[in-house]
C-alpha cells in the first residue's frame, strides 16, 4: 500500500476548515467571549490562506464578519453540533497522484457528546464539490484527526489512552488497530505513547494536546518541571518515552520542550481545563500557537519558534476556546495543496 501517504501538516496546503459556533450549542453560555475569539482566528487565518467555514446559519455568521476581508473565505451552511473540525473533518491522503478523502466515524469522543450532525459535514461538503479527490471513503474505524500525528514519511505518532479507549473501537485489539492505520495511511510504523494526558481533556489524550511533529526529526512536547503539579509524573513518563523513540534513520528525535501552561479553571465549576501550547496549527507561511493571557505565553512562543526557523510563530488568544476544553488545533483541519476546489463559490 505504499502508494498511499498521509501528508504532514507542514506540507503545502490549499485551505483550512473551521466550524463557526452555533447558538444551539454549549457555546451559547460563552457567546460574548467565543465570537470575538473566532473573529480573530478567522481574520488571522484568512489573511494567509483560504479558509472554509461551515456554519448552521450563514446569514447570522455574516453579521459577525463585518470588517473582515472575505476574499479568502468560503462559507457553507450545513447543520452542526459543535466546532471541533479537527475531529470530524475529512482526513486527506495522497493516492496514486490523486487524493482520497477519509471520512472516519466520529462518535463524540467515545459517545460523550452528540455528533450526529458533525458526522455528516464531510458528506455535505463532498456533495458540494469541494474536494478534488477520486473517492470519499468511510473507513470501518472510529478515529479523530486530533488523535494522530504524521511525519509525512510513513510514521504516525498516537496515544494508547485514546486510540485503545473502549468507547471507540472495543472490538479491535491494539495490533488490529495498528494494522488498520498502516493500511489506511500507507505507514511503515506506528509510534505509541502510553503516557501524556491533561486534566479536563474530553478526548482521552489526543496526541495534538501533548506531542507534535514539527518536521521528520523534531517533536515538540509539553514538559512539566514542577514536581507539585498534578501532571508531573505522567508527563515525565511521556518525556522518557519520547527520549526512547527513534527516527526512521535510527537517531533520537530532536525533542523541543514546551512549558506546561499555567492552570486554567472553568468559571462555573472550577474544574481544571486542558490548556496546552502543543495545540498549534502549521500554515503555509506561519505557525499559529494558542495563548492563554499568561506570562508563559511568550516563553512558549520563543521555544516553538526554534522548531520553525523559516516560519513566524504567532500567538492567538484561545482563552475562550479552552472554556469548552479545546484549543486552536482542535477547531481546524488543513487540506493539502491540490485537494480542494478553490473555484467553488461561497454558497449554502
- With beta carbons less than 8 A apart as the criterion, state whether 250 and 239 touch: no
**Within a domain: 319:** yes
Whole-model pTM over 0.85: yes
Confidence of residue 110 (pLDDT cuts 50, 70, 90): low
Residue 109 scores a pLDDT above 70 = no
pLDDT attached to residue 348:
40
Does residue 21 fall inside a structural domain?
A: yes
**3-class SS string, the chain:** CCCEECCCCCCCEEEEEEECCCCCCHHHHHHHHHHHHHHHHHHHHHCCCCEEEEECCHHHHHHCCCCCCCCCEEEEECCCCCCCHHHHCCEEEEECCEEEEECCECCHHHHCCCCCCHHHHHHHHHHCCCECCCEEECCCCECCHHHCEECCCCEEEEEHHHHCCCCCCCCCCHHHHHHHHHHHHCCCEEEEECCCCCCCCCCCCCHHHCEEEEECCEEEEEECCCCCCCCHHHHHHHHHHHHHCECCCCCECEEEEEECCCCEECCCCCCEECCCCCCCEECCCEEEEEECCCCHHHHHHHHHHCCCCCCEEEEEECCCHHHHCCCCHHHCEEEECCCECCCCCCCC
Range of the domain at 72: 4-336
pLDDT tens, residue by residue, 57-90: 999 999 999 999 999 999 999 999 889 999 999 9
Please check the confidence at residue 2 and state whether its pLDDT lies above 80.
Answer: no
CATH at residue 72: 3.75.10.10
328 part of a folded domain: yes
Q: Is the pLDDT of residue 1 over 70?
A: no
For residue 155, name the pLDDT band (cuts at 50, 70, 90): very high
Across 248-260, b (16+ Cβ under 10 Å) vs e yields eeeeebeebbbbb
Q: Establish if 134 belongs to a structural domain.
A: yes
> What is the structure's pLDDT at 113?
57
Q: Kindly give the pairing relationship between strand 264-265 and strand 272-273.
A: antiparallel
Tens of pLDDT, residues 9-31: 999 999 999 999 998 888 888 99
Q: Is residue 119 part of a domain?
A: yes
Counted domains in the chain:
1
Output the average pLDDT for the chain.
Answer: 92
Q: Model confidence over 211-252: pLDDT tens digits? A: 999 999 999 999 999 999 999 999 999 999 999 999 999 999
Region 102-114 average pLDDT: 69
Task: Report yes or no on 347 lying in a domain.
Answer: no
- Whether 348 maps to a domain, the answer reads no
345 located within any domain: no
Q: Considering the chain, what percentage of its residues have pLDDT values greater than 70? A: 95
Dist CA 285 CA 272 (whole Å): 33
Amino acid at each position: 500500500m505504499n502508494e498511499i501517504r498521509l501528508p504532514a501538516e507542514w506540507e503545502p496546503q490549499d485551505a483550512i476548515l473551521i466550524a463557526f459556533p452555533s447558538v444551539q450549542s454549549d457555546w451559547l453560555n460563552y457567546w460574548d467571549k467565543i465570537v470575538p475569539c473566532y473573529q480573530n482566528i478567522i481574520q488571522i487565518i484568512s489573511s494567509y490562506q483560504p479558509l472554509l467555514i461551515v456554519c448552521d446559519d450563514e446569514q447570522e455568521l455574516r453579521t459577525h464578519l463585518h470588517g473582515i476581508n472575505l476574499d479568502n473565505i468560503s462559507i457553507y451552511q450545513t447543520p452542526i453540533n459543535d466546532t471541533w473540525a479537527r475531529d470530524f473533518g475529512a482526513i486527506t491522503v495522497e493516492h496514486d497522484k490523486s487524493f482520497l478523502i477519509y471520512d472516519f466515524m466520529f462518535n463524540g469522543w467515545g459517545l460523550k457528546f452528540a455528533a450526529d450532525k458533525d458526522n455528516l459535514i464531510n458528506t455535505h461538503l463532498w456533495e458540494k464539490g469541494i474536494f478534488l479527490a477520486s473517492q470519499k471513503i468511510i473507513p470501518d474505524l472510529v478515529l479523530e484527526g486530533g488523535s494522530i500525528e504524521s511525519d509525512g514519511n510513513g510514521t504516525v505518532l498516537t496515544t494508547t489512552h485514546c486510540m485503545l479507549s473502549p468507547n471507540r473501537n472495543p472490538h479491535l485489539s491494539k495490533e488490529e488497530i495498528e494494522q488498520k492505520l498502516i493500511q489506511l495511511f500507507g505507514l511503515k510504523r506506528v509510534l505509541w505513547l502510553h503516557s501524556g494526558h491533561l486534566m479536563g481533556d474530553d478526548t482521552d489524550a489526543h496526541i495534538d494536546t501533548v506531542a507534535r511533529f514539527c518536521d521528520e526529526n523534531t517533536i515538540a512536547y509539553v514538559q512539566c518541571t514542577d514536581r507539585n503539579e498534578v501532571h508531573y509524573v505522567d508527563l515525565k513518563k511521556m518525556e522518557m518515552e519520547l527520549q526512547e523513540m527513534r527516527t526512521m534513520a535510527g537517531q533520537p528525535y530532536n525533542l523541543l520542550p514546551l512549558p506546561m501552561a499555567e492552570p486554567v479553571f472553568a468559571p462555573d465549576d472550577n474544574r481544571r481545563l486542558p490548556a496546552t501550547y502543543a495545540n498549534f496549527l502549521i500554515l503555509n507561511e506561519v505557525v499559529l500557537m494558542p495563548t492563554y493571557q499568561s506570562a508563559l505565553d511568550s516563553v512558549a512562543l520563543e521555544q516553538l519558534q526554534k522548531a520553525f526557523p523559516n516560519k513566524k510563530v504567532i500567538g492567538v488568544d484561545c482563552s475562550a476556546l479552552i472554556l469548552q476544553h479545546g484549543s486552536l488545533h482542535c477547531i481546524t483541519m488543513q487540506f493539502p495543496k491540490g485537494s480542494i476546489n478553490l473555484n467553488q463559490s461561497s454558497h449554502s
